[in-house]
Amino acid sequence: MAPNKQPTPEDRSDAIQIALTGLASGEDPDETIAKLGDLHIRYNTFPAEELLELASDAIDASGATAADPIDLEGIRERFLPDYPFSGKTQHYKSKYAISAAAMIHGGVYPDLLDDAAWWQADDLWTYSFFAFLIYVRVAAERTGQSAEEVARSIHQGG
């Protein structure tokens, strides 16, 4: 049996570019997801890591602090109403990605491969994109910018 393919540094860079450019240009999120899906490596969490790190950057862009935290209650319904989740599994996966991004922002890197191993679906990267989209929209609301402006700011490194 051949070893599992691993993402290259170029693959990682491409995933970041696709996600940021998609949001910064106002591209339909479904189009961005399709482009990211072309990069996804089966039986690998890639590009979830990159997307969760971008979500962490969006948390930073929101200005959230311990004194002024982001309220997670109803966050999907408030910031991602265009993608309703149904069933326990979808809710769990979405909540996991949202929480994993917050963990990364707090300096704790989750064990993505082990945590998602039981999912029996190769979709952590999809939920990670949704977490990124949510946190970009949170940052936009908290800063008075558009989601596109927040994505451009993250893309420019600040």
Q: 123-156 pLDDT, tens per residue?
A: 999 999 999 999 999 999 999 999 999 999 999 9
**Tens of pLDDT along 23-79?**
999 999 999 999 999 999 888 889 999 999 999 999 999 999 999 999 999 999 999
Residue 44 CA to its chain's centroid (Å): 16
The full set of domain ranges for the chain reads 9-155
Nearest Cα to 137, choosing from 68, 47, 62, 83?
A: 62
CA dist., res. 33 & res. 119, Å (int): 19
Q: CB–CB of 20/155 below 8 Å?
A: yes
